[in-house]
Structure formats: C-alpha cells, structure tokens
Structure 1
Amino acid sequence: MSNQATPWSSAMPEAQFQLMHDILAAPSPIGLEAAMTEGVLRPHFERIAPDGWGVKTFKGHAGIVLDTHPGRDDLFTVMVIGHADKIRMQVRSIGSDGKVWINSDSFLPTTLLGHEVSIFSEAPEAPGEYRRLDGGTVEALGAIHFADPKLRAGEKGVRKEQLYVELQIHGSDKKKQVEALGIRPGDSIIMNRPIRHGFSPDTFYGAYLDNGLGCFVAAEAARLVAEAEGARNIRMLFAAATYEEIGRFGSRVLVGEMRPDAIIGVDVNHDYVAAPGIGEKRMAPVEMGKGFTMSVGAIVSEQLNRRIETVAKDKGIPMQRDVVGADTGTDGMAGVLGNVDCAATSVGMPIRNMHTISESGCTRDVLACTHAVAETLLAMDAEESQTGALHEAFCSQHPRLDQARPMGHQGLPESD
C-alpha cells in the first residue's frame, strides 16, 4: 500500500472503530434487524444528515434508507446498500434433559461447538416484548470421550441435528425449568462475540462482519458526502436492507419502492488467497489488506464499474477485481431480481472465516471501500452538474465490443 497519508493507508481512528463495533454488535438476526437499523444507524443518520435529507422506514421489515432528496424522483438516483440481517440459529425443541435443540441455519455445524450464544425470546405473556438470555453454549457431543472413533479421528463430522444449547440446567424437571423461562421453538439465537482489535496491525475479528460492514460503509459514505456538501445534483440513497441471507428479499423491496437508476451493493468478500484449499484452485487473487474489491461479470454494469475504477485510480485507493459468474451473491442483484431497470455493481472487503464466530478483516480495506464509494458518488454528482446527462449516458454508452481496437504483441520484457 502507498505510504501517502490517506485514510486507507492509516489506522482507523478509534471513534470510527467504535461506530463499526456498535453496528456489528447490534443483535439483528434475520427478521429482527431493528436493533441495528433503528438503534444504531438511524441515530447516526440523524447526526450527520444536512437539512432536507430524510430517513425512510418500511412497514413489512426493518430496513432503513437515508435519502438526500426525498420525493425527487426526477433526479438520477444511486442507492448504496448493505444488509443488516445476520445469520442466526433457532430453537427447534426442548428436551426432557433440559437441552435446547437448535437449527444451525447458515453456520457450518462444526464451527459452532463450544461458543457462547444469546437467545432472544419473545415473552409468552406479552407478545412483542423480547428478553435476552446469555450464558449458553452450543454443543453436540458433550465430550470427546463420548464420540465414536471416526469422529475423534476427524473422519466424520458433526450433523446439524446434533446441535443444542447447553444452559447448565440441573436438578429435577429440567424441561420445565427451561419452559419456565419462556423459551419456545422459533426463538432466535446469535453468537455472542463482538469485534475486537486483532493481533496484526489494522485488523479486527469477531462475529457478523457479514454484513454489518456493508452497513457501516454505507453510513460512513453518507457522512463523507454530507461533509463534502455533495448530493447537489443527484439523489443518493444510503440503505440497510433485510432478508439478504435468505434470498436478498429485503433489497428487492427497497429497490422496488425507491426505483434507483444505479445500485452499489456493499458486502463482505472472501480472502481467496488465505482460504484453506482454495488459493490453489486458481481463484482471483483477492486478499485481505490489499484494498476493496469490485465485482466483474454477471449483471454488473461496466459503466458503473468504470466510474468506480477511475475514481480509485485518481485517488490512489487500492482496489482488487473479483470475478463473479451468474450472480454477484450480494444485494447488487436487487434490481435484476426486483425487475427494476438500473445499472448495478457490487463492492466489498475481503475477510476470512466467513459465517463463523471468528470472521476477520482489515480496517484499511474497510476504509478503502468507504472512500471509494463516497468519491464515486461525488464524482457522479459532479458529472451530472457538468453534463446534465447521466440518465442518457447510462442508456447510450454501453460498451461496444464490435468497436474494440485490435491489439498486437507488446514485445518481450527487457532482460536483467
């Protein structure tokens, strides 16, 4: 990385790290995301928003949008979107021995064992009132002594049906003790591991980087645009969607409601170089600590990518290209899935150990992504000011491969 004193080549300020911590720590399992959107993001939006900007919420889900020009459907509109929902476990049933049997959802069962969790239970006598129960751990075997030889040797894995939460219940009527707490099938369970600074410089680790980081980038990009007195000529929507982890349903609703002309989905990406057994499969050499990522392929708009890449080059923001196939795997697909005509792409940050309790990332990548998004928005705002023709540009300037110029051999490299 460059030695130039830029935010993405420096340590993240502690106050900014605390905001990232608070966003990631908000308990927002799928379907119950308001702790993040209303509890953390909305106050942040209200602190940074200039006069005239507005916050939009929705009836059917807890998604939230900071809108720079409410009601101005005539303006070219860009939506920056992360997702607030976290993968979670759910109570399946309660055993006679006090075990709380659970579903593992999108977690790999073997990564859950022994980790602390929080159960969020709706009060049976007061629907809509939630309680939090801490102190449980996810278990499956009890002890290595009770595992069969193949499991002990690593030749056999843990099945999701074996998972339960250990609440240390003892004494008589163990099932009734659990039922007396009001724990019921369907209650949400999430990992209890807020992020903390990592061992290596400018790193951090913990649960649920996926995808509080995308919401953090959207929120901080909004702050940077506000401080630069941007959004004078185009409408910008800074959004936190819901239901991404079960099919990107929330972002489809946001896009259907707001109908943006362009979407920049922000989500975590994989460090393919460090992923065990993956690096040698000739994946794109995306790596933590080397900058933000930009998706290439699938439904990605080359025009939108061109603007992002131009800004990254002009500002010296480190960027990595990630190859995607038929699907970006992110809310960048929301326009296509929601049948809304818009240019779209996906940017993100490489992390390790996705969907585990020990996801890890680099703050410099997060800052690179944040500033790349903000600078792209400001550049598009300036472009609209100069030309007044962003709508027309995106409609008429699709790349023409029939106009690609022929290339010849560029010569052999000079010998040492």
Structure 2
Amino acid sequence: MTDTPSPWTTAMPEAQFELMRRILAAPSPVGLEGAMTYGVLAPYFESFAPEGWQLHQYKGHAGVVLDTHPGCDDMFKVMLIGHADKIRMQVRSIGEDGKVWINTDSFLPTTLIGHEVKLFSENPDAPGEYRVIEGGTVEALGAIHFADPGVRAGDKGVKKEQIYLELQIHGENKKQQVLNLGVRPGDTLILDRPIRHGFSPDTFYGAYLDNGLGCFVTAEVARLIAEAGGTDNVRVLFAIASYEEIGRFGSRVLAGELRPDAVIGVDVNHDYVAAPGIGDRRMQPLEMGKGFTMSVGAIASEQLNRIIESTAREQGIPMQRDMVGVDTGTDGMAGVLAAVDCVATSIGFPIRNMHTISETGNTRDVLAAVHALAASLKALDKLPDPHREFRDNHPRLDQAGALGHQGAEKPNTETPEVSD
C-alpha cells in the first residue's frame, strides 16, 4: 500500500488506514468474533493469499489461521497471533423502571459513563438471529445532583453494580417495553466509537485498539510475505485468536492444534511516559511514537528476540524493549499455556487509555511492527536449520565475559528514533 522505502517514517496511506478502521470497527465481542474474522479478515486474506495457502477454521470459536504451507508439519512453524475478541459487556437484569442493568467486565465503571453503545440481542423466537439496538448510553447516577457528597467531591467512585444502559424508556409498563424488544440477560453490548485520525500527526483514537491493532498487523505482515513470494523454509501461521480478554484461551487452543515451533504475540502495550500518576512506580519509559515494543522476560526467548532486534537495527526500524516480568500478558504465552515446546515473544505498540473508548495510538509504531515482523520472518527463513538453531544456541550465562567500568562519556549508539 506504499512505495516508501521506510514506511514507518511517513504517514500511513489512507487506504491502509481505512483497512485498519474496518478491522477495528467490526463488532467482535468475546465469543462472537466472527464479524472481524469472517467479515473482514478472511476476505482480506483471500484477496492476496497465493495459491496453496490455506485458511483454517474451527468448531469451538471463530478464530482463523492463514497457513503458508498446510500439511508441512516437518517445517519450522512460526505463529503470529493477534486476538479479535473485544471486551464484552452483558445485560445483567431489567428493572421495573426500564433500566437495563449491565456488567462492566474489564472496564473501569467510571470510564463508561455517558458513552454510546450498541446492544446486540439474540431473537428469543429465532435463536441464532441477532438484532442491534443503537442510541443507548451507559449511565450510573443519572445526574450529579443525585450523587452522594463523596462521589460529587471525587472521594468515592462509582461501583460496577451501579452501571446501567439508558434506552430513554418512558411511559407505561417500562420493563415490558424492554421485554417486548426481546432483550434478555446475557445479551451483548460494545462501545460505539470507530477510530478517527487524531489531532497530532500520525495519531488515531477510538475504541478497541486492543486488539484489532494486533489483527491488523498480523494481516499486513501476511500481505507483505505474500507479495515477497512467500517463504521457502519456514511455515508461517498468521493467526487471529479469540477469548484473549478472558484468559488467553483461544490462542492456546490454536497452539495446541497446530503446535508451532515459535509464537509471536502481537498486542497493544502501554505508553508509560504519558500514563498519569504512576511516576513513583518507575515503569520503563515506553512511549507512543518511538517505535514498536519487544517483550523481555517471562517466557520470551532471548534467541528469538535477538533475531527480531538485529533485524530491526539492520532495517533502521525503531524498537523499544519492554520488561514483562513473570508474564507477557499477551497471547505470546500461548505455547507454554498449551504445553507446546516453542520459542516465544511478544511484539506491541504503546497506546494510551487502554480499555477505554478513547484508546490512542500512533500509526508509525504500528507500521514499525508490521515491517519488523515481516523482515524477521524473512531472516528466520534464511536460517539453514531453524530447529537446530534454537535447540543448540540457548544463552549460557556461565560463559558471560567480564564487564568493567566504561567511563562517563556518552557513546554515539542511540537507537534510531522516528523523525518528525
């Protein structure tokens, strides 16, 4: 979609931004991911997939996998994973006054108040048929005038049990008006905010960057690999998983089914520099606009990371190291959670306001991830024997060389940064 030698240094082409917008806009709450996987991504995969590539489908979930070498189980298999599922709010109960009480799932209750949502209701008379109600807003207090003094002063918060959907129901038999719509406990709600270009250059904002962005990156890496003629020695599995927001269950099923030798989770990360009120926690200074992120720690393979980091340096692609401790927090854990022997890591892009209606990202970080991953897959494909490469070259800290004091002069070896 661009002829620029270094696409991560320039604005994302509008056609590519529109693809990203369509992927993120697909209504794909947990357990109902088909709108993204089958409605947007599968047709996109099919538009560029070379003859011989195959799209895998599954019974228990709507995840899909685009496979470059189906059936070639002896090849070194690399699985890139984005997850299609969005945080799923649900109807909890219906009040006599017409209020539709809902759960908040992984949202802070206060971040939901006043925002528009879509309610997807399964037709009680025709199971499997879904209808959508638009125009409702999430509320809790109704008005500041009805809040107790602690809430009005900001000393107290809003409890999740206070959250309801406002459908502007009025008149007689308010509860029955809702029941007549066929709305029932368990029906799904999602935030209604497609992404838009932001005020600052190369930025965008909206709901559910987590993790339509990972799916977009995975799809664009697949396109670049297809346009480059595919791979010869590595079988690549471009996976779109489900159920990540409730425990990363979908990706571990994919790993269990296809048994990859390498897993790379692709998911959003935090902009810690911009995060308010966490200065005393001394988080790593990940920052939007400074490039993609790579996980270090937990199950992240130092060998796989070395290939990605070396490739990014060779290409001049900006990268930030992310300390993840005991858990990557992403589908990069899929292999170990599925008891599959594989190297793994997690690639991301710093965003702001995660799990809100105004998540914010930078297109240059996203493009940096796309091109770093595509180049890394090509580097893996050039290895004479990837299986032996990873079996025989585990880091040996007992062989570490001594390191002495290096003085105070600043070396001229800074990581390339995105130009303005």
Q: 2:365 corresponds to which residue?
A: 365
Q: Aligned partners of 1:77, 1:372: CA distance in 2, in Å? A: 18
Partner secondary structure for residue 345 of structure 1? strand
Shift >6 Å, 4+ stretches: none
Structure 2 residue aligned with 1:397, among 390, 393, 400? 393
- Aligned partner letter, 2:388: E
> Are 2:266 and 1:270 aligned?
no
Write the distance in 2 (CA, Å) between the matches of 1:155 and 1:209: 31
1:299-356 deviation per Cα after TM superposition (whole angstroms, max 9, x unaligned): 1100100000000000000000000111000000001110000000000000000000
Q: Which residue of structure 2 aligns with residue 302 of structure 1?
A: 302
What CA distance in whole angstroms lies between the structure 2 residues aligned with 1:348 and 1:228? 23
| Counterpart amino acid of residue 56 in structure 1 | H
Whether contact under 8 Å (2:77, 2:262) holds in the other structure is yes
Q: Provide the secondary structure at the position in 1 that maps to 2:382.
A: helix
Query: Which of residues 391, 408, 411 in structure 2 aligns to 1:412?
Result: 408
SS at match of 1:239: strand
The equivalent residue for 2:156 is 156
Contact 1:279-1:285 within 8 A present in 2 as well: no
Give, in whole Å, the separation in 2 of the partners of 1:412 and 1:100. 63
What residue is the counterpart of 1:190 in the other structure? 190
TM-score scaled to structure 2, two decimals?
A: 0.96
Provide Cα deviations, 1:272-291, integer angstroms capped at 9, x if missing partner: 01001124421111000000
- 2-side partners of 1:324 and 1:123: how far apart? 44
- Does the aligned pair in 1 maintain the 2:118–2:190 contact within 8 Å? yes
Q: Partner of 2:260 in structure 1? A: 260
Instruction: Give 5+ residue unaligned stretches, structure 2.
Output: 411-420
Q: Distance in 1 between matches of 2:5 and 2:79?
A: 29
Which residue in the other structure is 1:292 paired with?
292
Task: Report the 3-state secondary structure (helix = DSSP H, G, I; strand = E; otherwise coil) of the residue aligned with 1:333.
Answer: helix
Q: The residue matched to 1:66 in structure 2 has which SS?
A: strand
1:295 Cα deviation (Å)? 0.3
Gap regions ≥5 residues in structure 1: none
RMSD of equivalent CA atoms: 1.1
Which residue of 1 is the match for residue 347 of structure 2?
347
* Aligned length, in residue pairs: 408
Matched-pair contact (CA < 8 Å) for 2:68–2:230: no
Shift of 1:379: 1.0
Matches of 2:275 and 2:309, distance apart in 1: 26
Letter in 2 for 1:32: L
- Partners of 2:233 and 2:381 within 8 A in 1: yes
CA distance in structure 1 between the aligned counterparts of 2:59 and 2:232, rounded to whole angstroms: 29
- Equivalent position of 1:84 in the other structure: 84
Q: Is the 8 A contact 2:219 2:238 kept in 1?
A: yes
> Distance in 1 between the 2:206 and 2:407 partners?
49
CA distance in 2, matches of 1:120, 1:412: 61
Residue 239 in structure 1 maps to residue 239 in structure 2: yes
User: Which letter maps to 2:390?
Assistant: F
Take 2:238 and 2:280, find their aligned partners in 1: how far apart are those partners?
37
CA distance, structure 1, for counterparts of residue 262 and residue 104 of structure 2: 35
Matched-pair identity in %: 73
C-alpha distance in 2 between matches for 1:121 and 1:156: 33
Instruction: Tell me the TM-score normalized by structure 1.
Output: 0.97
Counterpart residue number, 1:251: 251
Q: By how many angstroms is 1:5 displaced?
A: 5.5
Distance 2:408 2:371 in 1: 38
Kindly provide the CA deviation profile for residues 105-124 of structure 1, in whole angstroms up to 9, marking residues without a partner as x: 00000000000000001000
